[in-house]
Amino acid sequence: MTQTLQVNCLMHQVAKVKLLKCVLQKQGGDCPEIWVKDHFEREDRSSFPPYVSFRFEVEDERIISTLRRAISSYKVLIDWVLMGYECHALPGMNWVIEPARMKEVETKAGSLGLSSEDYLSEYEPEFGPIAFEDLAGLTQYVRQVFLG
């Protein structure tokens, strides 16, 4: 897979997250139905920050390095990071693009028995919508870095 094709696939994943946000808003808010014990309940996720997870078909250190530099150099509304997590079930890494704030609150959230996203939703509910707004700019910036 060429570098351009890999970047386009990644940007497609980011665009799908943004599209999902728009679809949810048109359906009356960010309230997907989740399964709780024996029934579905609506959960308001409008204050949760977005993230994009993906795997490369073929990992290329040059692409990962360029992507990491692009994401870390993007400074508009919030800071973003590229995190790699080893996948034990499959070869290669699972990658996540997420707001840097998620890592910053990890310890504090854990001490309260919360995930980072639950913490941000509860204690910084304005952060999620700001991050969603910034995701569109990040997408364009990364595309520009790779494709010119």
Domain that holds residue 94: 3-147
CA separation for the pair 124, 127 (Å, rounded): 6
> What pLDDT score does 140 carry?
87
Tell me the mean pLDDT per 10 residues along the chain, length 148. Answer: 54 52 40 69 78 82 91 95 88 89 97 96 94 89 85
> What pLDDT score does 4 carry?
53
> What pLDDT score does 143 carry?
85
**Which parts of the chain fold into alpha helices (H)?**
3-26, 61-73, 100-104, 106-111, 116-123, 127-147
State both tokens at 127. Answer: 């952060």
Q: How many CA atoms lie within 13 A of 106 on its CB side?
A: 6
> What pLDDT score does 59 carry?
83
Q: How many CA atoms lie within 13 A of 132 on its CB side?
A: 19
pTM for the model:
0.73
Query: What is residue 79's DSSP assignment?
Result: -
> What pLDDT score does 75 carry?
92
